[in-house]
């Protein structure tokens, strides 16, 4: 019987940094669609807690500790994953950091740290994983971009530069690997209700009002809103979708916004 269009059954999915937040939400969707989920972090306790949560949801999950910015560490970890679990069929480059510092005040070390995690690590991990995908003749890579792949914003220059670069890296990976039946796409989350945004989501906070007013959906995203896009881009439903960034943003990028006197 042909597997379901949106099934990930029998696949191994590696979600870098998928131990909390939006990465965990996407991994949950992919896992509930049938895949074995593998996540990583720099901290063993984060991995242990996350794996326990996935298994509580009924998802087959494993965790590894390694640094996605170190090529040798990535190679060693992937070799271990392949030996213990199986080759990676789905890769989600989710690990990321942000430093909110105006350009004139940003130290070079902070700039490099953001570029390393948000742009260089997807290059390192994808390069390692794609070799096996090409040999097997199939694979899915999802790079987690951002609305900052398209827009600028005060104090996030390094993050925006990295995410803009990641959008173009996605297109170049798709260009080079598409003929091998490896699809490379991106997801660009908008503003989501997470523990990190909790302090600014209170009623009356200027930024909360700005986001709700700026978003056609009229609300912050729920992490579960990302599950559908993640499953789509992980499954055979997207076999002829390549080099695209799916923005899950409630419509922010579609509009200039509404006048202040408009309902």
What letters, b where the CB count within 10 A reaches 16 and e where it falls short, cover 222-250?
ebebbbebbbbbbbbebeeebbbbbbbbb
Q: What count of other Cβ atoms lies within 10 Å of the Cβ of residue 120?
A: 19
159 is catalytic: yes
* 132 CA to centre of own chain: 21
Residues for the chain: how many in total?
263
Residue among 82, 93, 165 nearest 127 (CA): 93
Say how many CA atoms lie within 13 Å of 79 toward its Cβ: 6
In the set 54, 62, 64, 159, the catalytic residue is 159
The answer to whether 16 and 64 have CB atoms below 8 angstroms apart is no
The answer to whether 192 and 251 have CB atoms below 8 angstroms apart is no
- Supply the residues annotated as catalytic: 159
């Amino acid at each position: 019987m042909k597997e379901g269009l949106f099934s990930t059954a029998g696949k191994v999915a590696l979600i870098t940094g998928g131990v909390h937040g939006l990465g965990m939400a996407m991994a949950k969707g992919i896992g509930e669609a049938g895949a074995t989920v593998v996540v990583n972090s720099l901290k063993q306790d984060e991995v242990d807690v996350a794996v326990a949560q996935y298994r509580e949801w009924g998802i087959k999950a494993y965790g590894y500790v390694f640094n996605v910015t170190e090529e040798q560490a990535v190679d060693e970890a992937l070799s271990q994953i392949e030996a213990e679990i199986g080759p990676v069929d789905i890769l989600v480059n989710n690990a990321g950091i942000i430093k909110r510092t105006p350009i004139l005040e940003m130290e070079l070390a902070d700039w490099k740290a953001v570029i390393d995690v948000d742009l260089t690590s997807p290059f390192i991990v994808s390069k390692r994983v794609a070799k096996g995908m090409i040999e097997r003749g199939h694979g899915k890579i999802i790079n987690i971009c951002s609305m900052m792949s398209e827009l600028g914003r005060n104090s996030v220059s390094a993050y925006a530069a990295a995410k803009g670069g990641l959008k173009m890296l996605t297109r170049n990976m798709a260009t080079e690997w598409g003929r091998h039946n490896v699809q490379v796409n991106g997801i660009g989350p908008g503003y989501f209700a997470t523990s990190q945004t909790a302090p600014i989501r209170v009623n009356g906070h200027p930024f909360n009002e700005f986001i709700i007013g700026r978003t056609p959906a009229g609300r912050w995203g729920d992490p579960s809103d990302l599950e559908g896009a993640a499953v789509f881009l992980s499954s055979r439903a997207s076999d002829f979708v390549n080099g695209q960034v799916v923005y899950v943003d409630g419509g922010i990028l579609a509009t200039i916004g509404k006048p202040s006197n408009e309902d």
